[in-house]
Structure 1
Amino acid sequence: MKKIVLLFGLLCFTLVAATAQTFRGLDKSPMDMAYYPDDYAHDRKFAPAKIGTDKAMVRVTYTRPAKNNREIFGKLVPYGKVWRAGANEAPEIKFYQDVTIGGKKIPAGNYALLTIPNEKEWTIILSSDLDQWGAYSYNEALDVARVNVPVQKIDNALENFSIQFAKKDDKNAIMYLGWDTTAVAVPISL
């Protein structure tokens, strides 16, 4: 009886091990989401009194590539070319309300967030072409807005590309995009 149980256990282990080998490895560029106000989705569910009747201003869904000891801007991400601001699919930015970015009025809605990095400034692009892989099928005719913002150097290198929001005042926020020792600040206002 012991031999049958042992044989059955060995057979089950072999089947599980064989099945497990068909899984791919984890994606090195995990998906992330940034809100303004920060933690809006969490607070809406678990602390509604904290947000009151306020609506979210913006949400960005993107994928965070890692530096992995690589030279990023000017090498991995070439200067002067459209970049998807992350990895995999182009990030999607959702404005819950009409906003203004760089003096340009943007209607509430969903857009692809693309950039053109350069050494001293980046061009931030909002495109109506959603669900595109990278920026390979980028079509300038579908641009909703383009805004230029200066590059800032940061002291502590960021291992992963990141997007975060900061409050400027009740009607203004800053969207920060950063990776390695480079960051840009994009002002957004209601």
Structure 2
Amino acid sequence: MKNILLIFLTFFSFTAVFAQDEDALSFSELDKSPLDVVMYRDANQTAVARVIYSRPSKRDREIFGKLVPYDELWRTGANEATEIAFYRDVIINDQLIKAGSYSIYTIPGRDQWSFILNTATTQSGTEHDPKKDILTCPMETIPSPQEIESFSISFLEQNNGAILFLGWDETIASLEFKIAGS
């Protein structure tokens, strides 16, 4: 108990010193694109897929067509490459994708996006090796009903699989996948 109290006091002393220095960075400024994780579990609560990604914010910037140019490869987030792990074999665009970890890249277009699955997983998001792409397929896009401030990824369970959603600013892109053998 004494050690916990000492750690608590040390942390708050450090925080108080930081707060007194007007030039010091606040914790919220350390990473403008914080890391996030989203999981998809089937009806039995068994893990099927997990995405680890960084969430850049709009911050009054024009996103698609400007910050993220149309028809050019995008790391699909910020910082490190966005990583998706499939814990079961899945089928995307009629192609079998074996369970494993992959990186996600996209090519945003005005009306449609391209989804790219790549076998490399430890690279910076700006380091894309097209020789390691195992899948490229179209993604549907729709206008978002409201502005999405921070880039977000989510899953929606659907008929033995799910829909992967990528949303930012005024755009939502989606891609359906099925659990193989279901």
Task: With the length of structure 2 as denominator, give the TM-score of the two structures.
Answer: 0.81
Measure the CA separation in 2 of the matches of 1:105 and 1:120: 26
Q: Secondary structure at the match of 2:63?
A: coil
Asked if 2 retains the 8 angstrom alpha-carbon contact of 1:57 and 1:95, the reply is yes
The correspondence for 1:126, drawn from 117, 121, 124, is 117
The correspondence for 2:30, drawn from 26, 29, 41, is 26
Other-structure match for 2:3: none
User: Is 1:35 aligned with 2:39?
Assistant: yes
User: Is 1:172 aligned with 2:161?
Assistant: yes
Measure the CA separation in 1 of the matches of 2:72 and 2:122: 19
Other-structure match for 2:153: 163
Runs (5+) with no aligned partner, structure 1: 1-11, 41-50
Aligned positions of 1:3-152 closer than 5 A? 25-37=29-41, 52=44, 54-135=45-126, 137-152=127-142
Deviation at 1:149, TM superposition (A): 1.4
1:87-126: CA deviation from partner (whole Å, max 9, x where unpaired): 0001110000000111111000000111011111111111
Measure the CA separation in 2 of the matches of 1:147 and 1:108: 18
Corresponding residue pairs, total: 163
Measure the CA separation in 2 of the matches of 1:186 and 1:59: 15
Other-structure match for 1:47: none
Letter in 2 for 1:151: T
Letter in 2 for 1:35: M
1:149-187: CA deviation from partner (whole Å, max 9, x where unpaired): 122111201000000000112x12101001011011110
Asked if 2 retains the 8 angstrom alpha-carbon contact of 1:116 and 1:122, the reply is yes
Which has more radius of gyration?
1
Deviation at 1:80, TM superposition (A): 1.2
Measure the CA separation in 2 of the matches of 1:186 and 1:173: 8
Deviation at 1:22, TM superposition (A): 7.0
Q: Secondary structure at the match of 2:158?
A: strand
**Percent identity for Structure 1 against Structure 2:** 41
Measure the CA separation in 2 of the matches of 1:68 and 1:23: 19
RMSD over aligned Cα atoms? 2.4
Deviation at 1:188, TM superposition (A): 1.0
Deviation at 1:60, TM superposition (A): 0.2
Asked if 1 retains the 8 angstrom alpha-carbon contact of 2:140 and 2:175, the reply is no
Q: Secondary structure at the match of 1:57?
A: strand
Measure the CA separation in 1 of the matches of 2:161 and 2:120: 26
Deviation at 1:132, TM superposition (A): 1.6
